């Protein structure tokens, strides 16, 4: 492939959703640095996905504090989710203590099912001290990994990469056989501060999708290479060390890296495109009229990530930005508070993440990926007069994946206050992910001016949110919420009672088998509600002997022994 006349096509780059260092163009390769060595040297193949909820998410209509529902309703009656009817909240977990009882937005069915399968961690009241509720400053702080009074020019992921990988000659020796891929990919229109480094190029590439990225780079008109001549050209000698010369060199190196990486990105993407035909990513929010349907902004990007991971990409961090969360007005529909723009956002997250987790499992890579949501702030506890909410403080975070410790951190907010108070500094969650999931040096994470900056509560102490025992922790979590008791009486003659507990309403099939496993009878097969359920089983038509009874649902399967005596 010929060298590209990169400068003649800068406008084309600017028109596409690729960008670098704040310049709206495709950040190509310089985005790789010695950092790339980071990924090569990591002792694992784990991946982090950052899902940025752009605008400030209303956590109270996402995780409803049903332990104090009346207060919640009175403070935001015009936007409150109902506790009755077909569009009422979904009760998350009957086993939680009363002060922690949570209701999910009715469009978060997918999150509920993932929670019950042990793949979701919810963290209440995430914030940082002295928050000023500014979108721009708030996002900068979350991305730089510091506090309200810190102003570093790099991001926490950029510092993680720079620290985790051995230094090398950059950008000349990247890509290489150990690290052929970008260290980070962003599905955004520009590069985020989170991947910036001090005095160096950011460690991410911004793309829309691999095919359009490839086509853009591949169709640029090129120079004819001439022996002994740099086909990219060079700035005047007197300007070589000037700001102009440095910027020109950066752009020219960017062009070269674009050439080197665009084929690799498309290659791994195409290699991983074999998918289970039964896995379907949601395309729209289905509860609106066809003429008003809202496209799901996550599905295509999550599927691209699944393809790339399966295709062999060694990229460590992906970032997806999802807008629409600055809901000052019309957060809900005036005639139905369970509907509206925020409802669609909740559905998009919940349904796309459900499909993504199913897709990862079908590809046998679900133990490698964790997804983390983040938003610059939450919303006020009380609603405004425009069927919306104004800028607030604390907000919940969600972690998805087989690698999380399932359950809940924190408790419901104090609704007597104007704002949701901080229970966890956001850097506590980042520190836990960096140390326990991304294998970062704990000393470097905890150093005040290392990967995470500033003084904050719990410095150096990880939260129990990363699952280092992928089987036991999840199984224990599910068994605490779905189980079958021993039948009584046992031994039995004419009848016995079988009881079971469900943390969500679901279809239950109970069967009786002889000691060879042959089906003797189907006792029941129907939907049962949340809570304790008991069934009286008629055994008068069953001969004496040793049997076992089996329960099967979409969440668990179990069998126990039964002796019948006549």
Q: Tell me the mean pLDDT in the region 546-554.
A: 96
- CA nearest to 250, candidates 13, 31, 36: 31
Q: Identify the band that residue 52 occupies on the pLDDT scale cut at 50, 70 and 90.
A: very high
Q: Identify the band that residue 193 occupies on the pLDDT scale cut at 50, 70 and 90.
A: very high
Q: Identify the band that residue 448 occupies on the pLDDT scale cut at 50, 70 and 90.
A: confident
Q: Tell me the mean pLDDT in the region 377-400.
A: 97
Segment 95-112, tens digit of pLDDT = 999 999 999 999 999 999
Q: Which of 69-73, 439-443, 445-449 has the lowest mean pLDDT?
A: 445-449
Sign for the CA dihedral angle at 324, 327, 329, 331 comes to: positive
How high is the pLDDT of residue 16?
37
14 pLDDT more than 50: no
41 pLDDT more than 60: no
Sign for the CA dihedral angle at 473, 477, 482, 488 comes to: positive
How high is the pLDDT of residue 255?
60
Q: Tell me the mean pLDDT in the region 235-241.
A: 59
Query: How far, in Å, CA of 24 to CA of 9, rounded?
Result: 13
- CA nearest to 536, candidates 510, 513, 518: 510
Query: How far, in Å, CA of 184 to CA of 255, rounded?
Result: 18
Within the chain, all domains assigned CATH 2.60.40.2550 are found at 482-564
How high is the pLDDT of residue 167?
52
Task: Using DSSP bridges, classify how beta strands 317-322 and 369-374 pair: parallel, antiparallel or unpaired.
Answer: unpaired
Q: DSSP E strands: which ranges in 332-383?
A: 369-374
Going from the C-alpha of 133 to that of each of 82, 141, 341, 380, the distances in angstroms are 28, 11, 21, 11
Going from the C-alpha of 440 to that of each of 30, 194, 325, the distances in angstroms are 23, 16, 32
CB atoms within 10 A of CB 418: 12
How high is the pLDDT of residue 266?
87
Q: Identify the band that residue 426 occupies on the pLDDT scale cut at 50, 70 and 90.
A: very high
How high is the pLDDT of residue 368?
94
414 pLDDT more than 90: yes
345 pLDDT more than 50: yes
Residue 512 phi, psi (nearest 5): -115, 135
Q: Identify the band that residue 15 occupies on the pLDDT scale cut at 50, 70 and 90.
A: very low
- List 409's β-bridge partners, or say none: 123
Q: Which residue has the higher pLDDT, 455 or 524?
A: 524
**Percent of the chain as helix, strand, coil, to the nearest 5:** 30, 20, 50
Residue 504 phi, psi (nearest 5): -150, 150
In CATH, what is the architecture of 482-564? Answer: Sandwich (2.60)
379 pLDDT more than 50: yes
How high is the pLDDT of residue 118?
95
207 pLDDT more than 90: no
Going from the C-alpha of 531 to that of each of 85, 408, 483, the distances in angstroms are 19, 20, 11
Q: List, as one string, the DSSP characters of 374-398.
A: E-S--B-SS--TTSS--B-S-EEEE
Q: How much of the chain, in percent, has pLDDT values that exceed 70?
A: 81
Q: Which two tokens stand for residue 194?
A: 């989170």
Q: What residues contact residue 60 under an 8 Å CB cut-off, 6+ apart?
A: 72, 76, 378, 379, 381, 413, 420
Q: Identify the band that residue 508 occupies on the pLDDT scale cut at 50, 70 and 90.
A: very high
DSSP, res 212: H
CA 355, distance to chain mean position in Å, is 12
Q: Which residue has the higher pLDDT, 2 or 64?
A: 64
Q: Tell me the mean pLDDT in the region 191-215.
A: 78
Segment 64-90, tens digit of pLDDT = 999 999 999 999 999 999 999 999 999
How high is the pLDDT of residue 449?
83
Q: What is the largest CA-CA distance in the chain?
A: 104
Do residues 180 and 174 make contact, with C-beta atoms less than 8 angstroms apart?
A: no
Q: Which residue has the higher pLDDT, 335 or 214?
A: 335
- CA nearest to 347, candidates 406, 280, 286: 286
CA dihedral 284, 286, 287, 289 (to 10 degrees): 80
Q: Which two tokens stand for residue 347?
A: 């559905």
Q: How many CA atoms lie within 13 A of 168 on its CB side?
A: 22
Do residues 381 and 392 make contact, with C-beta atoms less than 8 angstroms apart?
A: yes
Q: Which of 254-263, 333-342, 368-377 has the lowest mean pLDDT?
A: 254-263
Going from the C-alpha of 447 to that of each of 39, 419, 453, the distances in angstroms are 22, 31, 8
- What angle is formed at CA 334 by the lines to CA 328 and CA 337, rounded to 5 degrees? 80
145 pLDDT more than 70: yes
CB atoms within 10 A of CB 33: 26
How high is the pLDDT of residue 551?
97
Q: Which residue has the higher pLDDT, 32 or 42?
A: 42
Give the position of tokens 């190509």. Answer: 28
Query: How far, in Å, CA of 46 to CA of 525, rounded?
Result: 40
CB atoms within 10 A of CB 11: 8
507 pLDDT more than 50: yes
Q: Identify the band that residue 33 occupies on the pLDDT scale cut at 50, 70 and 90.
A: very low
Query: How far, in Å, CA of 500 to CA of 209, rounded?
Result: 47
438 pLDDT more than 80: yes
- The reported pTM is 0.86
Helices (H) and strands (E) in the chain, counts: 13, 21
Q: Which two tokens stand for residue 166?
A: 């051995």
How high is the pLDDT of residue 516?
93
- CA nearest to 195, candidates 67, 27, 360: 27
């Amino acid at each position: 492939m010929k060298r590209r006349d990169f400068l003649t096509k800068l406008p084309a780059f600017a028109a596409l959703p690729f960008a670098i260092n704040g310049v709206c163009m495709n950040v190509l390769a310089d985005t790789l640095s010695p950092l790339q060595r980071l990924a090569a040297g990591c002792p694992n193949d784990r991946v982090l996905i950052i899902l940025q909820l752009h605008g400030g998410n209303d956590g109270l209509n996402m995780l409803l504090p049903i332990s104090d529902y009346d207060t919640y309703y009175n403070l935001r009656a015009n936007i409150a989710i109902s506790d009755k009817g077909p569009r009422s909240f979904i009760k998350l977990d009957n086993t939680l203590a009363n002060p922690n009882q949570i209701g999910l937005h009715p469009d978060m069915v997918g999150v509920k099912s993932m929670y019950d399968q042990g793949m979701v961690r919810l963290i209440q009241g995430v914030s940082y001290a002295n928050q000023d509720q500014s979108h721009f400053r708030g996002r900068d702080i979350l991305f730089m990994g510091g506090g309200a009074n810190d102003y570093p020019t790099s991001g926490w992921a950029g510092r993680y990469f720079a620290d985790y990988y051995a230094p090398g000659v950059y950008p000349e020796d990247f890509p290489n056989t150990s690290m052929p891929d970008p260290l980070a990919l962003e599905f955004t229109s520009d590069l985020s501060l989170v991947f910036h480094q001090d005095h160096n190029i950011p460690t991410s590439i911004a793309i829309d999708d691999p095919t359009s990225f490839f086509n853009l780079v591949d169709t640029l008109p090129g120079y004819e290479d001439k022996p002994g001549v740099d086909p990219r050209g060079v700035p005047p000698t007197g300007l070589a060390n000037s700001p102009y010369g440095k910027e020109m060199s950066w752009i020219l190196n960017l062009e070269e890296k674009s050439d080197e990486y665009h084929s690799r990105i498309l290659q791994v993407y195409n290699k991983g495109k074999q998918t289970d035909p039964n896995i379907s990513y949601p395309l729209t929010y289905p509860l609106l009229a066809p003429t008003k349907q809202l496209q799901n902004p996550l599905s295509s990007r999550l599927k691209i990530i699944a393809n790339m991971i399966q295709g062999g990409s060694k990229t460590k961090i992906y970032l997806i930005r999802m807008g629409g969360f600055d809901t000052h007005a019309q957060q809900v529909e005036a005639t139905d508070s369970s509907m509206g723009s925020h409802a669609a956002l909740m559905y998009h997250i919940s349904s796309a993440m459900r499909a993504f987790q199913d897709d990862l499992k079908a590809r046998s890579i679900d133990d490698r990926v964790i997804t983390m949501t983040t938003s610059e702030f939450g919303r006020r506890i009380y609603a405004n007069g425009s069927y919306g909410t104004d800028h607030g403080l604390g907000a919940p975070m969600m972690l998805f994946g087989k690698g999380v410790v399932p359950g809940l951190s924190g408790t419901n907010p104090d609704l007597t206050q104007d704002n949701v108070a901080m229970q966890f500094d956001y850097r506590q969650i980042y520190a836990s992910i960096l140390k326990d999931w991304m294998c970062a040096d704990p000393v470097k994470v905890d150093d005040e001016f290392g990967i995470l900056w500033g003084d904050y509560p719990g410095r150096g102490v990880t939260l129990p949110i990363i699952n280092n025992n992928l089987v036991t922790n999840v199984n224990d979590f599910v068994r605490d919420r779905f189980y079958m008791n021993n039948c009584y009486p046992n031994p039995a003659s004419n009848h016995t009672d079988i009881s079971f507990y469900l943390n969500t309403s679901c279809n239950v099939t109970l069967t009786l088998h002889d000691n060879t496993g042959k089906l003797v009878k189907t006792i029941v097969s129907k939907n049962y509600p949340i809570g304790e359920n008991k069934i009286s089983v008629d055994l008068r038509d069953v001969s004496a002997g040793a049997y076992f009874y089996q329960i099967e649902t979409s969440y668990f399967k179990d069998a126990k022994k039964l002796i019948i005596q006549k």
